[in-house]
Amino acid sequence: MGLPRLAQLRAAGEKITMLTAYDATFAAVADAAGVECLLVGDSLGMVCQGLPSTVGVTLDAMAYHTECVSRGLHRVQGTAWLIADLPFGCYHESKEQALRSAARLMQAGAHMVKLEGGGWTAPVVEFLVQRGIPVCAHLGLTPQTVHALGGYRVQGRDEEAAATLRRHAHELQDAGAAMLVLEMVPARLSAELTAELPHCHTIGIGAGQGTAGQVLVMHDMLGINLGKNPKFVHNFMADAGSVRGAIEAYVQAVKQGHFPDDALHAW
């Protein structure tokens, strides 16, 4: 799996599927179940380390889990596209700091790095892309800055906020970002952005059906997280006989347009 293949899926109107993964075994199972993209998310701080947010996750932890996931894919000759989060504080100081951090994750086995936020991040994205590092951006609810956003709430609801989000999305595409996670963004705005960004594949989480693909935290969709699931999450394990069966059901639901259900999860 690579960026050209993801572009082919989008051009054919087929949704891209993504799940988080933090270890070799779950990575191998998800890959075998047909998930196109695996995200080593800094959500590992909450679901694996028991932290209250993603802010405490270190670059060392991200590199370790990226290596674990990469080994799982190599063991089964996996094909999933592997994305790793740049954690809080490791790309904020300078573009050179971002390059050092991104290189660490790429050397650990990532095919792409992900960073959060818009505006100031566009020059960072451009700097990394020019140096051969594919970048996935992340707008809407950005967990690393959840305290500044006032909590886990929908972003881009009013006209001014939507205009800012749209401007940032276009700047990130122009900077070379090949993917863009839209988290807790109104479905209509997500669909509009997807149409406006032909060179940047939008991946939604709590952002409606209109994106080019979907992502969930694996622990959420298996119903085994430590807290209450967000309302946009479906427990695919409830009707499956195995973890692989649950992941296959998720892939099928996304591909067939059954998940997410905009009628149930409209903002």
- Cβ distance 17 to 254 under 8 Å? yes
Q: From CA 13, how far away is CA 11, in angstroms rounded?
A: 5
Would you report the helix, strand and coil content of the chain in percent, each value rounded to 5?
45, 15, 40
Question: Residues 6 or more apart from 208 whose CB is under 8 A from it?
Answer: 185, 186, 187, 188, 190, 191, 260, 262, 265, 266
- Cβ distance 210 to 191 under 8 Å? yes
- Cβ distance 182 to 172 under 8 Å? no
DSSP letter at 242 equals: S
List active site positions: 183
